[in-house]
Chain A
Amino acid sequence: GGAPASTASTATSGGTSTAASTEGGTATATSDLQVDVFYYDFSDVYISSVRTAMDEQLKAMGIEPKNWDAAGSQPTQTDQVKTAITAGSDLLIVNIVETSTSDPAKDIVEAARAADIPVIFFNREVADNEVINSYEKCAFVGTNAPDAGHMQGEMIGEYLLANYDAVDLNGDGTISYVLFKGQEGNAEAEARTQYAVEDANKLLTEGGKPELAYYDSSASTKYLVDTAGKWSAQAANDYMVSLLGSYNEGNNNMVELIICNNDGMAEGAISALQNVGYNNGEGTTIIPVFGVDATDSAKALIKAGNMTGSIKQDAVGMATTINTLVKNVQDGADLMANTDQFVVDSDVDKIRVPYQMYDGTSEE
């Protein structure tokens, strides 16, 4: 169906959004619950959409959240959390900056425990389960990071098996690819980088095809990384533009597949392709580009056939899930009450909002 995006996303989140607002009864009644939400970076596109959803839903619950922008810096965020605690916060909702170690999260949990305030981590995973388990009023809401990579790999593998010859532009029997990694040392980036290729290769091998070949066989790392750690479209674009100078159809060594750790980088890469005549819709050669996030602009590109697929991180679903926990705090219930409808890890209070594959055939 051609339903508008906003309704669709509410629908996909399995009706949980209504749970939060209806159970609140008089949804607009103001609450004196002081909720502080710490975002890792206001300028992040995906996080912006979560923020928009969070703000709307919390307001509907009568809560005026205080939003904090760490601008990508863990020290800033740690300072913000401690400040909020001294200012009498009742609930901390933390989109932690640092994902390659759980020490800062541990620090925050300890500070929260000392002040007896519940803390909900979201989106960027606190890898160490012990940190979450160490405090009963602590939970994590997010995806299962490797899933995005696995799904992307599956999507790529299936797409290639179905369109192998069309994709293999030079007909040498192997698909040469490039992968754009968003940030070195970031857990999600690591997982996506690894599994997207591994899983695709598994499917290809099962289907009797050779594994993917990195476009530059001599490269020591099989990815190009935004060394500034910004996952930026511009970095991907510059890489792609300069790579196309040496690897193109003229030289019979065109990159035949592009895997990106997020949609921003995918868009940058597509723009570079479009500038030299690829991926301009029907009638032009399409180099398959896969991203993650399914941002609105990526969805538009996929719809137009200029991008091949993405993995949807459901921002509204994420917000709804978090706010179920917020509601628990508001009502004085257990933090993890009313979470039966969610996917919760067995050994730790981590709620997993599922990823979904998004391609041209996806319901909208």
Chain B
Amino acid sequence: MDKPALLEMRGICKEFPGVKALDNVDLTVRPGTVHALMGENGAGKSTLMKCLFGIYHRDAGTIKLDGKEVDFKSSKDALENGVAMVHQELNQALTRSVQDNLWLGRYPKVAGIMVSESIMAKETKKIFDTLEVTVNPKAIMSTLPVSQRQMVEIAKAVSYNSKIIVFDEPTSSLTETEVEHLFRIINMLRDKGCGIIYISHKMEEILRISDDVTIMRDGQWVATRPAKELTMDEIIRLMVGRELTNRFPEKTNKPGDVILDVQHIAGKYTRLKDATFQLRKGEILGIAGLDGSGRTEVLENLFGAMTREGGTITLHGKPIRNRNPKEAIKNGFALLTEERRATGIFGIRDIKENTVISSLKDYLVGGVYLNDKKMKDNTDWAIQAMHIKTPSQHTQIRSLSGGNQQKVILGRWLLTKPEILLLDEPTRGIDVGAKYEIYQLIIDLANEGKGVIMVSSEMPELLGVCDRILVMSGGQVAGEVDARTTTQEEILTLAAKYV
């Protein structure tokens, strides 16, 4: 830590009603380094960055940029003073073009008021060329796949030529190749002398890319160390405040007979061309593949959330149709969706309502009237079983951290007593401690005789939890491997089969 600090945050405090999100947190970023910010869900990482970026106003503390004290009142302030940020949640004007999004808030002008489309086009091309991004600048944002949108977002943050760039979980929707691409960009920025703050729950990434690591727990600063001096286990220990010997629980489930047989299902409006597979009782079937390979679509097709073009689904030897989620739920399916905020939570409703919504029929008395007591008890059960951190059942779910929200939704599905669980990125944005709990839960469920299909972009997770792994490529099943014997290389080769 020889060079003077580029960014110095000291004693930052931030309180939300009922939550002390930040309690006297320090963070020092040196120029030309990548500083990883680690912590469990709800540790306060995003909040700290939002305080820096002017989205939240901190209650106390000082921020120094280049030795000068700053206090950004808005994002505009921050951007103009050399701080840029890739946000945890994608925030884009989807009805506008890529280039309109890229230059939003700082359109190049001629004659004081007119926006110059030509300068915009030229500059966009320049930026995309340097960053090797291959996206059509005139394309409407909503027509791009999520990963490309994320790359646009990254390009945008970089294009501000800021001294400090914050990446809040940038890789959660990127494929392996795009992650590599991102790392090249980050290395380039580092070489230019930028300070980079990098937030991620993916341990491998942290150790690969970061120079320093700051770890937070429960809104408090825990440690700042050079990355070289840290091991994965050490980070985890600091994050969760206790020893975690294994990242994956012991696999105890025993696959039994085939319960679900899926033959040649294809999507009507989506890219899923053909998926055929079987699922056994008590089995955990993983689905791997690159982004856009149609993994999500397999699950959503199966669940009736998308329209099927053809194919058959047989459950216990009986053909079923699952034309819509309601029917699927009746048939014993449950789907944990990929985008928590958009399709998972009911933000302004409380934990209780979020928990019981899919199992309402269980509380019906006489076919008309809902039993409140039973709903409360079941919610309590979910809170305890999932270790959900919440003041009460009556807290709005949106005030929980992402990981805790995820647990509520998992609880929602468990209450429907499903036979087949479809999990789409069940641990996206979830900290290691909680991840372990979720893995354990998945294995326990398999032990109870349920069939689990799990889509994940994290290869180690698939290898550590699943029995078999289905590999998707270009909307089709490219192959099927045994999780115990396969390697990452084999999966990657299959994933590239129909690209």
Q: Do A and B touch, yes or no (CB under 8 Å, in the complex)?
A: no
Interface residues of chain B, those whose CB is within 8 Å of chain A, are none
